[in-house]
Amino acid sequence: MQTLSQVRRMLHEAGLRPQRRLGQNFLIDGNLMAKLLDLAGPLEGRSVLAVGPGTGSLTEELLDRCGRLTAVEADAGLCRLLQRRLGSRAGFALLCRDVLAGKHEIAPDVLATAGPETTLVANLPYGVATPLVASALRLTWATARGTAERACRFDRLTFTVQQEVAERLAAGPGGKAYGPLSVLVATLGRLTMGTAVPATAFWPRPKVASRMLRIDFTEEAAEFAALAELDSLLAAAFGQRRKRIGSLPGRCGPALDPDAVRAAMAAAGIDPDARPEDVPPGHYRKAAEMLAGG
């Protein structure tokens, strides 16, 4: 695992410096990196996707553990550095591009290189974390349902992310952090909260702390058949989260019939006097299933 002086030297020799616009904050605490690897669990024989590999400290450790590794780096200078250092390693593929092809889509060539089953292990750049995690969960669900245009199953996602994002991913009902992302994760995965990571563990030092998380896709999630209805409910509910949820049937737009929404909410046991942030994920899920004819 690379020390701060090693990271500085490699960047200096390559004529590079950390790019704030790309969220480049390199994890330089070897003990915390080991904890991230422990949280990821056994990787022998697995395909692993690493996003934002930087100078390759975590990447080297992953290559020693997994079957093959796809690294996706948006910085062309770091791609050249990684290719020189690790390009000859067996099972290593490097893509120099953004991991996302759009706001809600993982790039097709990333999926093609990673293969039909993969595991994410990464210190995620802050800007990409939320859309990447949501996209990976949705794609895994669609793959399990047999409806994905390009099938790829992420059996688990292990990553370090900004503390505020971690709180939104893990939030339960009753607080400001709870929202559509919280419900999506609770519906499609099983979340394990890992170690807190102070800002001092990174260079350059960010302004905020981070947190390690692991999300496992569950077999129960594959049985859920109403993701489109759930998305519509959540968008309408949290689009005006200060309003009581009893007004939701009139705010769903043309996608959902107001009477059907009203009946689904009643069947799911949703209190019309509650606010969106007070409704548990299971209640939203049940209402969506009712709307889908379940």
Going from N- to C-terminal start, the domains of the chain cover: 4-223, 227-291
pLDDT tens by residue, 33-44? 999 999 999 999
Q: 206-249 pLDDT, tens per residue?
A: 999 999 999 999 989 999 999 999 999 999 999 998 899 999 99
CB 78 within 8 A of CB 16: yes
Is pLDDT above 70 for 187?
A: yes
Q: Which band of pLDDT confidence, cut at 50, 70 and 90, is reported for residue 57?
A: very high
**pLDDT mean over 62-90:** 97
**CATH 1.10.8.100 is the classification of domain 227-291:** yes
- The C-alpha R_g of the chain, in whole angstroms, comes to 21
Mean pLDDT, to the nearest integer, of 68-95?
Answer: 97
The mean pLDDT value for 2-18 works out to 95
d(CA 218, CA 20): 36
User: For residue range 97-128, what is the model confidence (pLDDT) as tens digits?
Assistant: 999 998 889 999 999 999 999 999 999 988 89
Mean per-residue pLDDT over the chain, rounded: 95
pLDDT over threshold 80, residue 253: no
Report helix angle 180-188 to 126-145, nearest 10. Answer: 40
Strand bridging mode 202-203 / 210-217? unpaired
Q: pTM value?
A: 0.95
Residue 79 is predicted with a pLDDT of 97
**What token pair was written down for 192?**
């394990």
Would you give the DSSP letter of residue 45?
T
Structure tokens at 92: 């290593």
Fold of the 4-223 domain: Rossmann fold (3.40.50)
pLDDT at 294 over 70: no
